[in-house]
Amino acid sequence: MKLIPLACFVLPLYVALPLGAQEGSHGAPHPAGPSLTMSQAEHLALKNNPRIAVARLLALAEGEVTREVRSAEMPTVTGNLTAVEPHEGSRITAGALNNPIVYQRAAGGVTLSQLITDFGRLHNLVSSADLRAKAEMSAQAATLADVTVAVDEAFYRALGSQAVLKVANDTVSARQTTSEQVSALTNAKLKSTLDLSFANVNLAQAELLLLDAQNANWGAMLSLNTLLGEERPTSYVLVDETPPIPSPAPENPEPLVTLAFQSRPDLVSLNQQFAAAEKFRSAEHDLWKPTISALGTVGGTPVRADQITSSWFGAVGVNVSVPLFNGFLYPARAKEADLRASAAEQQVHELRQIIARDVRTTVLQAQSNFRRIAVTQQLLDQANSAFDLAQIRYKMGLSSIVELNQAQLAQTQAQIEYARARYAYQGSLAAIRYQTGQ
């Protein structure tokens, strides 16, 4: 019996196909976009992502709060222009305790008030505001880290989805060739119609795989576009800089936990917020202390009643304000500040526990993903060998097309698993960098 040779079905693994580069009967062609490396993607995200702008503006606004609080240390100067026309012979006799005599006059002057001391309360308020401003700056750094790791993970997901898409395209092409060759063998009465049916089923499965891969690929690229701050989708040619032989995962997570406690910007921010709450607590407890201020005023009275004999006025003095009773307002404020400071301290403890858990979990995941690369590589090698043998056996008529189809399916799955393992491991390394504040 004369055999018609089949095309070779061994599929090369491809890991960085541009989005939309596939064309032909399996998908409409898409124009190739600009190339994009990982570092370029990070730069675009840090430049355009709205979260970065929000964090920067909030940090700037918090810095102005410090200036607002510190303004109480500076003198207050107020200019006044006053004109009075009283009712003849009248006196202010109700409404307040004051000097009831009102003279006709038109005058202008300047009043100055300067805080001398409040025995440390204002200093604590300024320190609290300054620490909150620093905490907001640390929160801005944490936002930068959040966006960076999100871009890295989205970039690797897009690379992985494009690798799967390339495998799916090549699988459809190979199975289309198989279907055509089996059809020719069937027409030549060398193979049964059952073989042709199995070949067509195998082709349909490959086409479904391609549809799923295309959807996943578009979804991954749209997610990356969003992180890059783009409102309209851009088809990038992703540059795969993944090393052929990746470095092994960290073995011991404990040094990384210590590093995370020192470097994580969100933990630094929370520590600064706790320190600010402690300063504010001290300031609220100082509300009962006296406040000493210097007062001064000077001006002229060009238009005045006869009873006002001097054409100018001036006075200086010192005022001591001592709180005596205000309806238990100050004790309540001090207690509130105590409770909020304690809550801030507990938030720091909680975040430290979460960081320790996440670092250990991420390291374990990276170790698992690193081992998966070797396992999937071995699986791919075995699947390639099995497919070669199945193809030879089918050519020689020693096996059915079912065996060949199973070998093709195993090879395709192995290629997909290997591609996913490679990029999942790179995503794990990016997560470790994020978890440790690097």
pLDDT digits (tens, 9 = 90+) for 128-175: 999 999 899 988 899 899 899 999 999 999 888 888 898 889 889 888
Q: Answer yes or no: is 11 within a domain.
A: no
At 21 the pLDDT is 37
CA–CA–CA angle 357, 338, 281 (5° rounding)? 105
- As a whole number of angstroms, the longest Cα–Cα distance in the chain is 137
User: Mean pLDDT over all residues of the chain?
Assistant: 84
* pLDDT cut 90: percent of the chain above it: 30
At 32 the pLDDT is 58
At 177 the pLDDT is 85
pLDDT digits (tens, 9 = 90+) for 253-264: 999 999 999 999
What is the rounded distance in angstroms from the CA atom of residue 363 to the CA atom of residue 339?
36
What is the domain extent for residue 118? 35-87+102-435
Which CATH number is 213's domain given?
1.20.1600.10
Q: Which residues contact 178 (CB under 8 A, 6 or more apart)?
A: 6, 7, 9, 199, 202, 203, 404, 408
Q: Answer yes or no: is 353 within a domain.
A: yes
Residue 23: pLDDT above 70?
no
Residue 352 CA to its chain's centroid (Å): 19
In this structure, the strands spanning 35-36 and 237-238 are parallel
At 13 the pLDDT is 31
Per-residue confidence band for 16, with pLDDT thresholds at 50, 70 and 90: very low
Residue 407: pLDDT above 50?
yes
pLDDT digits (tens, 9 = 90+) for 268-310: 999 999 999 999 999 999 989 899 999 999 999 898 887 888 8
Q: Answer yes or no: is 8 within a domain.
A: no
Q: Answer yes or no: is 7 within a domain.
A: no
Q: Answer yes or no: is 292 within a domain.
A: yes
Q: Which token pair is 163?
A: 């690798």
What is the average pLDDT across 358-384?
91
Q: Answer yes or no: is 392 within a domain.
A: yes
Per-residue confidence band for 345, with pLDDT thresholds at 50, 70 and 90: very high
At 316 the pLDDT is 92
What is the rounded distance in angstroms from the CA atom of residue 260 to the CA atom of residue 361?
13
State the burial class of residue 220 (Cβ atoms within 10 Å of its Cβ: 0-12, 13-18, 19+): buried
More confident position, 235 or 303 = 303
Q: Which of 428, 424, 437, 409 is nearest to 163 (CA)?
A: 424
What is the rounded distance in angstroms from the CA atom of residue 20 to the CA atom of residue 92?
86
Residue 119 CA to its chain's centroid (Å): 42
Per-residue confidence band for 195, with pLDDT thresholds at 50, 70 and 90: confident
Number of domains in the chain: 1
Residue 9: pLDDT above 60?
no
What is the rounded distance in angstroms from the CA atom of residue 438 to the CA atom of residue 430?
9
Helix, strand, or coil (residue 318): strand
What is the average pLDDT across 164-193?
85
Q: Which of 124-133, 170-179, 345-354 has the lowest mean pLDDT?
A: 170-179
pTM of the predicted structure, to 2 decimals: 0.78
Q: Answer yes or no: is 23 within a domain.
A: no
What is the rounded distance in angstroms from the CA atom of residue 154 to the CA atom of residue 151?
5
What is the rounded distance in angstroms from the CA atom of residue 186 to the CA atom of residue 50?
61
Q: Answer yes or no: is 112 within a domain.
A: yes
Q: Which residue has the tokens 């027409």?
A: 187
What is the average pLDDT across 51-74?
89
The count of other CB atoms within 10 Å of the CB of residue 174 is 22
Q: Which of 9-23, 85-99, 109-123, 173-187 has the lowest mean pLDDT?
A: 9-23
Q: Which residue has the tokens 């300047």?
A: 110
